[in-house]
Every structure is written in C-alpha cells, then in structure tokens.
A and B are shown apart, each in its own frame.
Chain A
Amino acid sequence: GAGVSQTPSNKVTEKGKYVELRCDPISGHTALYWYRQSLGQGPEFLIYFQGTGAADDSGLPNDRFFAVRPEGSVSTLKIQRTERGDSAVYLCASSLGVAGANVLTFGAGSRLTVL
C-alpha cells in the first residue's frame, strides 16, 4: 500500500481481555517499529523488527506484551490480560532499514482504551 496501515483505529476493551493490533507496513520496508504514546507524551519505543525477527524487544513493558511478524511484512502486537494502564495510542512505523539514513513512516495509530 501507499502508506502504513493500522487496524483497528479504535479499540475499547475491558480489563483482563486479550487484544490484537495489526500493522501493515509499506511494501519493501524491512524494518518495522511499534511505539506507544500516552496523552501529552512522546512515542515510547516498544519493539523493532528487521525482517521476520525481533531485533530489539527491550521496550516491551512486561510479558503481557508480545509482537510477531511471521512473514516479514504484516505485524501484530498482542496484549494479554489488559490493564487500564495499557490505554494509549499504539503507533506502528516502517522504514527501508538502511542503517544511518532511516526515516520512519508512521501509521495513524490504534487508540486502545481499557475500561
């Protein structure tokens, strides 16, 4: 596609439920990033994929968060046993993956609200 697509755009769930957020990056972009942004804050790094593998998952807050990118394209961020503190906008970005000149293209985000 022409841009980074994220679905759903909005998700409201109850505490304790399981949530999946999907990111479809720009075709040909090998690098994919997930960020979380709370109101009034900057994007907080969660995880970075280069191809199919998670090159850096040091930003995942705890083991309730997991992300996959099985075919090196679409990625899914999975949150188990959601908590109210997980409420935020989850941003996905992709880039060509060329070290030293990476520019991120962001999706519009998935707004998660945990009641």
Chain B
Amino acid sequence: SQQGEEDPQALSIQEGENATMNCSYKTSINNLQWYRQNSGRGLVHLILIRSNEREKHSGRLRVTLDTSKKSSSLLITASRAADTASYFCATDAGNQFYFGTGTSLTVIP
C-alpha cells in the first residue's frame, strides 16, 4: 500500500496563480521529497526536505514539512502552462521510497 496521500487529487488554475498541494503520510520519515511527472514520462525530482527542516525554497517552489502532523505542502508560485503535470510526494523511511497517489495540476494559459 502507498504511504502518502496527496490532496487535492486534481487542481485547475489560471496561469500566474499559485498552486498548493498537500501530502499526508503515515510513519516516521528521514526526509520527504516531491517529484513531478509529465504525461507518459518518468518522474523528475523537484525538492527534498529533511525531517529536521520546516521549510525549503527552490526557485518558484516552496515546501513545508510538519512532522507532528505528518504532512507536507508544495507551493508553486506564479504558475505557468508548462507546470501542468502530476505531482507526487515520496517519503524516505530508511532506503525505501513510498509515493503518494498524486495531484494532477492543470495550468490554463
């Protein structure tokens, strides 16, 4: 079974708006990562946040982690049509990675 669960399952926004997606997980983790998947392609790593970090930035991406609530959020600012993809959180418990169910983001030009 999958470790994480993203919410919402689907999100549709206008270009220029911000997109926020959330991830909840079940067990203790070493770190949490976010990946992106374009239709029909493999997953691409976006950002990693360690369990002792609360917030991390990378370009237009901002990730938060709340280990007490076992949750994380990914914020994409000033969205672009090219950001249209599915986004997955992955939790690292030891050397295994477990992926959530994903959020499908559509950015309308």
**A residues engaging B (CB < 8 A)?**
4, 31, 33, 35, 41-45, 48, 50, 55-56, 91, 93, 97, 99-109
Pairwise interchain contact B48-A101, C-beta atoms closer than 8 A:
yes
Pairwise interchain contact A100-B100, C-beta atoms closer than 8 A:
no
Pairwise interchain contact A43-B43, C-beta atoms closer than 8 A:
yes
Sample (22) of A-B pairs whose CB atoms are under 8 Å apart: A41-B2, A41-B102, A42-B2, A42-B4, A43-B88, A43-B99, A44-B2, A45-B98, A55-B95, A56-B95, A56-B96, A93-B42, A97-B95, A99-B30, A100-B92, A102-B95, A102-B97, A103-B45, A104-B35, A106-B35, A106-B42, A109-B41
Measured in the bound complex, the distance between the Cα atoms of B85 and A6 in whole Å is 21
Listed from nearest, the 9 A-B pairs whose CB atoms lie closest are A106-B42, A42-B99, A106-B43, A43-B99, A108-B42, A42-B101, A103-B45, A42-B102, A42-B88
Tell me the smallest distance from the CB of B29 to a CB of chain A, in Å. 11
List chain A residues, Cβ under 8 A from B79. none
Q: Is B33 among interface residues, defined by CB-CB distance under 8 A?
A: yes
Q: Is B94 among interface residues, defined by CB-CB distance under 8 A?
A: yes
Q: B-side binding surface: helix, strand, loop or mixed?
A: strand
List chain B residues, Cβ under 8 A from A104. 33, 35, 43, 45, 90, 97
Measured in the bound complex, the distance between the Cα atoms of B87 and A42 in whole Å is 9
| A106 and B44 contact, Cβ closer than 8 Å, known pairs A41-B101, A43-B99, A44-B2 | yes
Measured in the bound complex, the distance between the Cα atoms of B42 and A33 in whole Å is 13
B42 closest partner in A (C-beta): A106
Which bucket holds chain B's interface residue count? 20 to 34
List chain A residues, Cβ under 8 A from B94. 99
Q: Is B31 among interface residues, defined by CB-CB distance under 8 A?
A: yes
